[in-house]
Structure 1
Amino acid sequence: MQRLSMLSGQIQRPPSIANISTLLGFQRWRRCLVQQRSTAIPNGSRWFSTSPLLYKKKDKTKSNPGSGPDAAPPKAGVALEDPYDLSQLHDGVRAAVSHLKDELSKLRVGGRLSTESIASLRVRLNKGSKETVKLGELAQVIPKGGRMITVLVSEEDHTKPITSVIVSSGLSLTPQPDAHNALQLNIPIPPPTRESRDQTISIARSAMEKAIVAVRESRSSVHKRLQDMQKKKIARPDDVRRAQEQMEKFTERGQREVKDLFEAAKKAMERA
C-alpha cells in the first residue's frame, strides 16, 4: 500500500481543458509571429535588435566631414593650376612696354612736340576744387606745321586755366591768344637746345627704368607662385624648373625690348 501511494504521487495529473487551450493558443501566436517576420524582412537580413554592431550601417555624413551639404568646397585652382601658365608675366611685360611707348611719344624729338603731351595735361577749372579735367576734353589740340600747335578751346572761360596749365607744364611752351579768334591759342615750338635735349633724354631714361621695374615685379609674382606650388607639391619639380626657365627667358626678352625702345628714342633725340 505504501509503495502504491508513492507511485501514485509520481504520476502527473492529466492537463485540464483550459491548460490545453492556452498552450495551443500560444503555439498559434508564435507561428503567426514567425510568418510576419519572414514576410516583412527579406531573406538574409537581420532584426536591428538582434544584429551585431558590425552589421549596423555607418552614417556617411559623420564619417566624412567634407561630404555634408554645408561643407566648404575645395579650393579652386589647387589641383588644376598649371605651372606653365605665364600669362601674368606676359600681361605685365606687355603693359610695361605699352606704357613706355606712350611716355616716349609725348617727348619732344627733333624740334617737334607731340600733341598728346599737351592734351594729357590736367586742368583745374575751379581754384577752390581739387578736381581736374584732361585738357583734351576741354579743347582740340591740332598740329600746324613742324613748329606750331593750335589749341581750340570749347568755352571762353576755359582759356585762362588752360593757358596757365600749359605754361607751368615744364614743356617750355608759351601759348599766345589768336588775334581773330578768342577761343584759339597758338603755341610756337622753339628749336631744341642742348639743355632741353639732355632733359628730354633724362625723362626718357626715367621712363625706361620704370618699365624695367614693372617687368621685374611681374617676374617676381610668377616666381613666387611657382615656388609656392613646389612647396605645396602641387606641381612636379621638373615642371616647376622648366617653367622657371621659360619665365627667365621671357623676362630677359621683355627687358631687352624696353631698352631697345629707349635706345631708339635716344638716338632720335641726339640727332635733333
Structure 2
Amino acid sequence: MRNTAARSLLRQRIARPELTRVQDVILRPRFTAAGQNFFPPQQCLNQFAAPSPSPAFLSPRAFHTTAQRCKKVRDNGKDSNGSSSAGAGAADTPGRHPSANPEEPLDFADVESRIKGTNEHFEGVLKKLRSGGRFNPDVVGALRVQPDRKDSTTYPLKEVAQIVPRGGRTISILAHEEAYVKPIMSAVQASEDFNQQPQRVPDNELELLLKIEPETKDEVLRRVKAMFTEWRDRLRSIRHKRDKQHTSWLRDKVIGPDLKRSADKELDKVIKAQMTKIDGVEKETLKSVESSSK
C-alpha cells in the first residue's frame, strides 16, 4: 500500500514539469523558418496579451472578427461650393483686402480695394460685350461645365475643350475627351445666353458646332442695363459692409458719435464718386449700342 502511494506521488512530480513545458509551448509560439526553430522576442509576444488602452487600430483583435477598416475621408477642397467663386464675388474674398481699422476710421483702404476688384470684373464683362457679345470665344469659354454628375465641381468650358471660331457666326467646340461631350452640351443648353443644343459633327465624335444668332438691339440694351444694375448693387454691398463696421465700433465705444458721422460722410463721398463714373460709362455704352444698331 505504501509502495503504491509512493509511486502515485512520483508520477505527479514528473507530470508537473511536463505541464510547465506544455504551457511554455502554448504561451510562446514557435515559428519555423528555413528548417530552424525560431522563438520570437518578448515584444512580439505582447500582442497576445490582454488589450491595453491603446488606439483602436493598434489593439489586438480576435481571429474570428473582421479587420478594422479606416473610414475614407473625401477632400472636396475645390469648389467648396461645388462651383468656384468667380467674377465680382471673388473680388470680396476674405483676406484679399486690407481690414478696416477702428483706430483709423477715416482710412478707406478696404473699401477702395473692394471697389477696384469689382470695377475690374465689370470692365472685363463690358469689354467682352463690346467685342461681339455672345459671339465671343471668351464668353463661350466661360460657361461652367460639370463633367461628373456625382461631383458638383464645375470647370470653365475652355478647360475641357478647345474653342475655334469658324466662318459666319459658328463656333467649333473640340472636347478634350469623349466623356466631356455630353456635359458640354448640357452646359450650353442650360445657359441663358445660348439656350440651344450644339450640333454633333458626324465624322468627329469630339467636335460640336454652336451657331450663335445675332442679338437684336433690344436684347443687347437689356443685357447692358442688367450688367450696370449689378455693378451698382455690388458697390452698395461694399458700402453696407463698411456701414455695419462703423455701427459696431460705435456700439463697442471704440469711436464716438461725431467720429462715426465723419466716417459715414467720407464713405458716402467715395461711393458717390464711383456711382458717377458708372453712370458715365453706362451712358456711353448705351449710346454706342444705339448707333451700331442703325
TM-score range, shorter chain: 0.5 to 0.7
**Paired residues of 2:164 and 2:173 also in contact (CA < 8 A):** yes
Matched residues in 1 for 2:192 and 2:101: separation? 54
Give 3-state SS (helix, strand or coil) of 1:190's partner.
coil
Change over 3 Å in CA distance of 1:230–1:156 after alignment to 2: closer
d(CA) in 2 for partners of 1:106, 1:125: 26
* 1:164-203: CA deviation from partner (whole Å, max 9, x where unpaired): 321332334553334554323232332223xxx4234323
Answering whether residue 199 of structure 2 is matched by residue 176 of structure 1, we say yes
Structure 1 gap segments, 5+ residues each:
1-76
Larger relative contact order (C-alpha < 8 A, sep ≥ 6)?
A: 1
Amino acid at match of 1:167: Q
Return the letter of the residue paired with 1:160: K
Match of 1:219 in 2: 239
Following superposition of structure 1 onto structure 2, how do residues 230-241 of structure 1 map, counting pairs within 5 Å? 234-235=254-255, 240-241=260-261
1:167 counterpart SS class: helix
Q: What are the ranges of 5 or more consecutive residues in structure 2 without an aligned counterpart?
A: 1-98
TM-score, scaled to structure 2? 0.53
Q: 1:190 to 1:254 in 2, by over 3 A?
A: same
How far the C-alpha of 1:262 sits from its partner, in A, is 3.3
Of 113, 119, 122, which aligns to 1:91? 113
SS of 2:283's equivalent?
helix
Q: Structure 1's 209 and 248: CA in aligned 2 closer, same or farther, altered over 3 A?
A: same
Deviation at 1:85, TM superposition (A): 1.2
- Percent identity over the alignment? 27
Question: Post-superposition shift, 1:218?
Answer: 1.8
The 2-side partners of 1:79 and 1:222 are apart by: 11
Does structure 2 conserve the Cα–Cα contact (< 8 Å) formed by 1:115 and 1:142?
A: yes
Q: Could you tell me the TM-score, scaled by structure 1's length?
A: 0.56
The 1:140/1:259 distance shift into structure 2, 3 A limit, reads: farther
What displacement does 1:245 show? 3.4
Q: Any idea what the Cα deviations from partners look like across 1:42-68, whole Å, max 9, x if unmatched?
A: xxxxxxxxxxxxxxxxxxxxxxxxxxx
Partner residue of 2:137 out of 111, 115, 120? 115
Instruction: Kindly report which structure 2 residues correspond to 1:1-272, keeping only aligned pairs within 5 A, or say none.
Output: 81-105=103-127, 107=129, 113-127=135-149, 129-144=151-166, 147-172=169-194, 173-178=196-201, 181-193=204-216, 197-229=217-249, 234-235=254-255, 240-270=260-290, 271-272=292-293
**Which deviations, in whole Å up to 9, do the C-alpha atoms of 1:97-142 show, x marking residues without a partner?**
2332344445486576222222222223344554433322211223
Structure-2 separation of matches of 1:252 and 1:100: 18
Residue 160 of structure 1: how far off its partner (Å): 2.6
Which residue is 2:18 aligned to?
Answer: none
Task: Tell me the SS of whatever aligns to 2:226.
Answer: helix
- Give the 3-state SS of the residue equivalent to 2:162 in structure 1: strand
Q: CA deviation at 1:159?
A: 1.8
**Using the alignment, how far apart are the partners of 2:133 and 2:140 within structure 1?**
15
- How far has the Cα of 1:87 moved from its partner? 1.6
Q: Which amino acid aligns with 1:89?
A: V
Structure 1 residues 258 and 119, CA gap change in structure 2 (3 angstroms): same
Deviation at 1:155, TM superposition (A): 0.9
Q: Letter of the aligned partner of 1:246 in structure 2? A: E
SS in 1 for 2:205: coil
Query: For the residues of structure 2 that align with 1:125 and 1:159, how far apart are their CA atoms?
Result: 9
Amino acid in structure 2 at the alignment position of 1:184: E
Letter of the structure 2 residue corresponding to residue 124 of structure 1: Q
Q: How far off its partner does 1:151 sit?
A: 1.5
Contact 1:125/1:161 (<8 A) preserved:
yes
Matches of 1:221 and 1:122, distance apart in 2: 29
- Is the CA contact 2:135–2:212 (under 8 Å) kept in the aligned structure 1? yes
**Alpha-carbon distance change, 108 to 184 in structure 1, aligned in 2, over 3 angstroms:** farther
